[in-house]
Structure formats: structure tokens, C-alpha cells
Structure 1
Amino acid sequence: MRQIVLDTETTGLEPAQGDRVIEVAAVELVNLLPTGATFHCLVDPERDIPAEATRVHGFTNGDLAGKPKFAEIADEMLAFLADTPIIAHNAPFDFGFLDAELMRAGRPKLDRSRMVDSLAIAKERYPGMPNSLDALCRRLGVDNSMRDSHNAILDCTLLAQVYLELMGGKQPGLELAPSLRGAGPALAAEAVAWTPRPIAVPEDRAAAHEAFLRGKVKEALWLQPPFTPASEG
């Protein structure tokens, strides 16, 4: 199962009022675990960055001078996103900005059926509690000590860990094998071969178990088809 964790940084809060995307980051997950494949690009917003926005994410006009415009990175971004589900914290915000940029670049909007809003999931799981990314990191034991500003690629990395916990947490044995880490979707998604290993039961033990069931358990399930012992066909 391939999914993408996505985050954007912007010049403000309203794409309809001329605010633009300045950073796009995406992290690939396969079976809820990062594969090491990422997409990250700083973008020239073709406008000034307000001081209040710089205080949030730390980017200035000078940081983005000479960076590609969104139209120049759109196809590469869309290729990485492919047609997989897209996870974002407050996803309507990121989708709204990307849709505005894609339309400006002559590309179709993202299909909203692909949108997975981790904020909505968190609010359902923790109603009435703070559910910002920082709050969830603290609650779920995800180390966010390096997060001193809103950096999209770092936020994606943290959100991938938070999303795993929201979906039930890491289960033993589900770590990607070292040879698959960073291998990308084709290799990392390969099914691992599984060989059944039936347990052989000695005939005397099987007979003793059957005798116990017939003598002690009324209408034992294990004696009904398809559990009927092989000795009875």
C-alpha cells in the first residue's frame, strides 16, 4: 500500500488573495512505513514574503531568489504523487494551495478523493484536545526536538511517524528490511514470500485429544466439519 505524506509552506493563508506556495515536500510510505523516497523543492513565489510568514517558516525573499517557479516543478511533483492517497495535516489547506498553483500552471486539480486529513483523524481520536503536529508528537512519543520552525520536509517526516501511531502504532516484525529501505515503490512493495509450516501432531496425542473431546465437551466444534479428524474422513 503506497501513500504520500505531504506538506507545503506558503506566503500566507489565502490562495484566493494571491498567497503562493514556497516549499513542497513529500515522503513516500509503503505499508505505513517510510521507504526513504522523497520529493522536496523550494519554489519562487513570484511575490514578496510577508514578515509574519517568515516568522513562521523562516524563509525570506533572498532564500527563494533563483529557485524554480511552481510551473517548472509541477510535472516532477505530480509524477512523484502519482495516483496514491495523500496524507496531510489540515489537508484542505495544502490541497487548496496546490490546486491554485496547478491551475495557474495549466494542470488539473488534485482529486479530493485522494485526500487523507490526519488532523481530522486526530480530532476524532482525541476530541477536545490540542491536535497540532507538535501536540501529537508530544502525546504519541515522537521526537520533535529539532523542530524550531515550520520546515516542510521535517514536518513530513514527523507526520509520517505520527500517522503510523494514529493508525495503530508500529507492530513487531513490520520494519522494512535493510535492503528495501530507500528502494522506492517497486521493490519496497514486493510481497515477502511466506511458507506455511504446519505443526505435526503425534497420532497418540491426537487420539487422546479426540477422546477427551468426545467424553467432556458436548458437540465439540473441533469434531464438526471441516474440523473432523482425518481418521473419520
Structure 2
Amino acid sequence: MNFATWPALLVVDVEGNGTNPPDLVEAAALPVRDGRPDKSTAGWWLTRPNRPVTPFATRVHGLTNTDLAGKPAWADVAEQVRAFLGNAWICAHHAHTDYRVLTAHLPDWEPAGVLDTLRLAKDAFPDLGTYSLDKLIEHVQPDLREAPGARHRATFDAYATAQLLIAMASRYDTWDQLVAAAVPPGLPGAPEPEKDPTLW
């Protein structure tokens, strides 16, 4: 895989307050450049949700209402996040979720395309059985020594997902092959189905 052929790509992860639909409490966007995650230019935002963080959500990501009390509201950072994301491709693990939450919070935003490491892993490792982030970390054993934060925090999970993407991408020869394996149908960037040339 020639990483120089990749378009602008951000690995994203979001954490919510546990309500349905969720309010965002944390978002991370990590550029991948030349086959490496670029922490030096990453974006990271903590925000105060409109509704309290549920005890279940706190047990998952560790963020409490007290932690977030002095943080800006989403409305105060939304334009900054929108500008950072631009129209780059994004990648996430179980990308439908992150894409849905981000588009709900950024209604005027649309990425160029969406890679899903969960979908990619099913293609790359068809016999693995389960495809959680923890299972893939155990199977692929990416280098996470420089991962910021802890598991289930947006910065850590984005870094881990980036390393998994890079490792799995090496199994494909071209960007187009990667896209065919990793973009869920119906999401931006999905290859158009080939038209039957006999139809007119």
C-alpha cells in the first residue's frame, strides 16, 4: 500500500453523555499522514453536555459532570470542530455511530468518505469471530505506547483505531481496494455499483 496516494484522512472518535440521542462530551480527530498517526496536529475537544452524564456513561469513559462543568458547550466549539474536519475522509471503528452523531451535531458537515475499521476487519480477518476494538487490539497488537489517555477516551480510541487502520491497510494494494472493503454501503465514499452495460 502506497500511503502517499491517500487523500486527507482523520481518524475520529466521540464519547457521549449516555442519553439517547447523546450529547457529545468528548471528540477527537487524528490525522493520518504518510502511514502514521500525527498527534502533533490532532484535534481534541471536551464539552459540557446539555443533559447530565449518566452513571453508565461515566463508568465507560470516566468523565463526570464535575469534570465537564467548566468546559464549553458544544455550540461554542462546533464551528471550530467543523473547520478542523473540513471535507476530509474520516475513519472510525463502527463508523455508522460516529458519523451519525457527528452529522447530528454538525448538520452542515459532510466528509468526503467514511472508512469503518470494523467493516475492514471483517474483510481482513474473516475468521476472527468478534470485531470489537479490544479484540482487534489483542489480535493485531498495534504499537500503543504513544496513545494518549486511556481506553474508552476519545484520544486513545482514535489513536488505536488509526494504528489498526494502518496495519490492516498493508493487506491491500491500492486505496480503491481499501475503500471497497472499508466503506459501509450508503455512507459517503461508498463505491458506486457497476451499471449493467446491457441496460439502456
TM range (shorter): 0.7 to 0.9
Task: Report how many aligned residue pairs link the two structures.
Answer: 161
Q: Which runs of 5+ in 2 are unaligned?
A: 1-6, 172-200
* Residues 8, 152 of structure 1: 8 Å contact kept: yes
Per-residue deviation, 1:118:
1.1
Query: Is residue 2:3 matched to residue 1:3?
Result: no
Asked which structure has the greater CA Rg, the reply is 1
Per-residue deviation, 1:49:
0.9
CA displacement, residues 161-200 of structure 1 (integer Å, 9 cap, x when unaligned)? 111001017xxxxxxxxxxxxxxxxxxxxxxxxxxxxxxx
* Residues 3, 29 of structure 1: 8 Å contact kept: yes
Letter in 1 for 2:159: T
Please report the TM-score for the alignment, with normalisation by the length of structure 1: 0.64
Please report the TM-score for the alignment, with normalisation by the length of structure 2: 0.73
Q: Percent identity?
A: 34
Aligned equivalents of 1:86 and 1:148: distance in 2? 22
Per-residue deviation, 1:31:
2.9
Per-residue deviation, 1:52:
0.8
> What corresponds to 1:14 in structure 2?
20
1:32 pairs, out of 22, 31, 35, with: 35
Aligned equivalents of 2:150 and 2:87: distance in 1? 32
Across the aligned residues of Structure 1 and Structure 2, the Cα RMSD in angstroms comes to 2.0
Per-residue deviation, 1:32:
2.7
Letter in 1 for 2:130: P
Query: Is residue 2:26 matched to residue 1:23?
Result: yes
Query: Is residue 2:169 matched to residue 1:167?
Result: yes
CA displacement, residues 3-31 of structure 1 (integer Å, 9 cap, x when unaligned)? 1000000122632xxx2111000111123
Q: How does 1:1-233 map to 2 (within 5 A)?
A: 1-12=7-18, 14-15=20-21, 19-35=22-38, 36-103=40-107, 108-111=108-111, 113-127=112-126, 129-143=129-143, 149-168=151-170
Aligned equivalents of 1:144 and 1:12: distance in 2? 27
Structure 2 SS opposite 1:77: helix
Letter in 1 for 2:136: L
Q: Which runs of 5+ in 1 are unaligned?
A: 170-233
